[in-house]
Chain A
Amino acid sequence: MVEIKTADELNKKFLREGMWPTIFCNGCGHGVVLEYTFWALEELGLDMDKVIFASGIGCSSRLPGYINADGLHTTHGRAIAFATGIKAANPDFHVIIFTGDGDCAGIGGNHFIHAARRNIDMTVIMINNFIYGMTGGQLAPTAPLGSIATTAPYGNIEHPFDISNLACALGANYVARWGVSHPYQPIKSIKEGLEKRGFSLLEFLAPCPTAYGRRNKLGDIKKHWAWYDDNTILIEDYEKIMKYGTEEEKAQVKDKIQLGVFQDIQKPGFFESYEKLVDRLREKETKAKEGKK
């Protein structure tokens, strides 16, 4: 059921009037992720009155402000906890969280871990740009070793956080990582994540030419975007090469960031289990009452 065919029509439906253009810098990948989300929502044909967005603090967290839907722009790192409450109040809602690497993997790590563990029915779209962009380029927990940031002027010596891997380990129902430069797979993936009952994580590697690319000498916008193509590999290919490839090929792909769908399972979500619990209690009570009679 795709009625909308062009970006222009899409914008009219999903963008909040008067809020565009964005506050994002030139060459930033956040707008692209927003557009992919729009296409996914459009293709699913969800009722936008029942789609609720939540976000924390940071560049990515400004996204709900541009969307013509209910949005909760919360405190730093806590968006997932807020969203847990929103979903609990009305399990009919589709809750989508826009978060960044600092927001989700840094200050909000604990909330992320526990929402994934509880398998709360929500879609977390984490936009990873390896840096705290909004505050001017401080070190993020996902920054690759050796990255330069204002708070790591001599290079990052901390090991980076692989948040998708963590989500898989926690048993999230759907985990995928994508870049921003190839549209169709991410759009399909966001759709799958939204349709999934239970916790789904979509990690996007988004260029930040201003705060990350510039400091790390990744060149202009064009070169910075190309860096993501050169340094990523589809998980299927990665596995193939690691299994059957030559030593030389293995060495080539060893350090590349893997893209793709990492986990797609169907464990019961929190609210599904909660409803069952309520039913069980009700049955027990009815039986006890009948017994008394």
Chain B
Amino acid sequence: MIEVKDDWCKGCNICIDRCPVDALEESDNLNRRGVRPPKLKEENECNYCRLCELICPDLAITVIPEEDDKKPVKKTLLTPVGGKLK
């Protein structure tokens, strides 16, 4: 599950763009700023990697893992492009 503080979202959509499993989309409701904050898709493969939470420039997203809902962990984009760290 992800929680979004709607009014903190400025609508950069970085979370949607960067999600490794493409689990996010714009929601239907407009917030105070007139942008559509993200939400999880109906059908999604979110594995709680927390990338969206960590890179949200406005600290608006919180990822809350659901214990009983274990999904296969897929490789994420957490390392910089070009290779791995030492």
Contact = CB atoms under 8 A, between A and B. Distances in A.
Is there direct touching of A and B in the complex, by C-beta distance under 8 Å?
yes
Interface of A: 6-8, 10-11, 15, 20-22, 24-32, 34-36, 39, 178-185, 221-222, 225, 229-230, 232-234, 236-237, 259-260
A179 B77 CA distance: 13
A203 to B, nearest CB: 14
Please indicate which of the listed interface residues A6, A180, A233 has the most CB atoms of chain B within 10 Å of its own CB: A6
22 contacts: A6-B53, A6-B62, A7-B54, A7-B61, A25-B10, A26-B10, A27-B57, A28-B57, A29-B57, A30-B57, A31-B58, A35-B56, A181-B18, A221-B13, A221-B14, A225-B14, A225-B17, A229-B80, A233-B81, A234-B83, A237-B82, A237-B83
Contact of B63 (A6, A29, A184): A6
Contacts of A25: 10
Contact of B8 (A6, A21, A185, A237): A21
Contacts of A236: 83, 85-86
A185 B17 contact: no
B55 A183 contact: yes
Interface of B: 3, 7-8, 10-14, 17-18, 51, 53-59, 61-64, 77-86
Nearest to B8: A21
Contacts of B51: 183
A185 B84 CA distance: 10
Contacts of A179: 80
Please indicate which of the listed interface residues B55, B57, B59, B80 has the most CB atoms of chain A within 10 Å of its own CB: B57
Contact of A31 (B17, B59, B81, B86): B59
Contact of A7 (B56, B80, B82, B83): B56
B64 A233 contact: no
B14 A20 contact: no
Contacts of B12: 26-27, 221
Given A26-B12, A180-B55, A21 B7 contact: yes
B54 A222 contact: no
A24 B57 CA distance: 9
A21 B10 contact: yes
A250 to B, nearest CB: 14
Given A32-B54, A36-B54, A182-B78, 14 more contacts: A7-B54, A8-B62, A15-B59, A26-B12, A28-B57, A30-B57, A35-B54, A35-B55, A181-B14, A221-B14, A222-B14, A225-B14, A233-B81, A234-B80
Contacts of A234: 80, 82-85
